[in-house]
């Protein structure tokens, strides 16, 4: 039964057009960790669009942390995943499963901190203010789900643009960029960039909304991170984002 519910694939089995990085061990005999991720809506053998999963994948790619991906079809989640910790995660992803101890570790915040301690080099620590972009994702979701033309939609759009302008102002400071971590991807980049990717893609598709054109530093930032090998290797594509949010909107 479990086999029918969970799709398991090593990272490099994703189709070549969207193939994530083959993540090799830093040590020759390092154990392979199992990273449980969302599968694409309607195509359960392809990597899905979860920005929190993307955060962990970017971290693993930067650190060359040895993982294989287990892709979970959200329409048919396995029983173990639905269990509360320490057995499962209450149905949420990402989840990191350690090969030796069998420890199940949910929550992207916990996972990336664990990886930072386990593989401290290259460091992804960041001095970016902790509150920068902290309200980006809820503002985006609120805008997306709000009824067209409603006061709520206008309010959530305003909240989103406030977050975008704060990011733009930070990136426009002298000496900043091209990424939040400078020349290399930091944990701030891994956390914020996937959310920007979702917001830009989903709002353009469902709301015919574009980020304000005067946010030049923000656009330069998004172009810069999209050009990194780690991003290219873990990018699931805009079609996966649209498929994922189509499913969310259908159940909202």
- Assigned token pair, 206: 């469902």
Note whether 18 and 53 are same-domain residues. yes
Note whether 104 and 141 are same-domain residues. no
- How many domains, in total, are found in the chain? 2
Range of the domain at 68: 2-118
Which residue among 14, 37, 47, 50 is the active-site one?
50
Q: Is the pLDDT of residue 192 over 60?
A: yes
53 among known catalytic residues: no
Task: Give CA–CA dist 251/139, Å, rounded.
Answer: 19
Per-residue pLDDT of 5-15, as tens digits, reads: 333 333 333 33
H/E element, 43: strand 43-47
Per-residue pLDDT of 26-70, as tens digits, reads: 444 566 889 999 999 999 999 999 999 999 999 999 999 888 999
Query: Whose CA is closest to 240, among 60, 45, 46, 5?
Result: 46
| Inside any domain, residue 151 | yes
Note whether 183 and 235 are same-domain residues. yes
Place of tokens 């409603």: 150
Task: Give CA–CA dist 60/234, Å, rounded.
Answer: 10
Question: For residue 103, is it left (φ>0), alpha (ψ between -120 and 50) or beta?
Answer: beta
Note whether 28 and 85 are same-domain residues. yes
Note whether 19 and 111 are same-domain residues. yes
Per-residue pLDDT of 152-189, as tens digits, reads: 999 999 999 999 999 999 999 998 889 998 999 999 99
Q: Would you say the pTM of this structure is higher than 0.75?
A: yes
Note whether 188 and 158 are same-domain residues. yes
């Amino acid at each position: 039964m479990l086999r029918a519910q969970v799709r398991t694939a090593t990272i490099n089995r994703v189709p070549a057009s969207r193939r994530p990085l083959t993540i090799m061990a830093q040590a020759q005999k390092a154990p392979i960790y199992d990273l449980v991720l969302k599968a694409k809506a309607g195509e359960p053998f392809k990597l899905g669009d979860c920005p929190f999963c993307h955060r962990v994948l970017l971290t693993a790619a930067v650190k060359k942390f040895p993982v294989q991906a287990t892709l979970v079809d959200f329409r048919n989640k396995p029983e173990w995943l639905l269990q509360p910790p320490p057995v499962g995660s209450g149905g949420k992803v990402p989840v990191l499963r350690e090969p030796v101890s069998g420890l199940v570790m949910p929550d992207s915040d916990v996972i990336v901190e664990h990886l930072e301690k386990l593989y401290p080099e290259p460091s992804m620590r960041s001095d970016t203010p902790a509150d920068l972009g902290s309200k980006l994702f809820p503002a985006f979701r609120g805008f997306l789900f709000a009824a067209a033309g409603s006061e709520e939609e206008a309010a959530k759009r305003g909240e989103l643009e406030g977050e975008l302008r704060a990011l733009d102002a930070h990136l426009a400071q002298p000496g900043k960029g091209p990424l939040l971590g400078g020349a290399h991807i930091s944990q701030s980049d891994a956390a914020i960039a996937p959310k920007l990717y979702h917001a830009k893609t989903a709002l353009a598709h469902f709301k015919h909304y574009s980020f304000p054109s005067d946010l030049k530093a923000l656009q330069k930032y998004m172009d810069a991170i999209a050009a990194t090998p780690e991003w290219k290797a873990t990018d699931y594509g805009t079609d996966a984002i649209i498929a994922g949010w189509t499913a969310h909107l259908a159940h909202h």
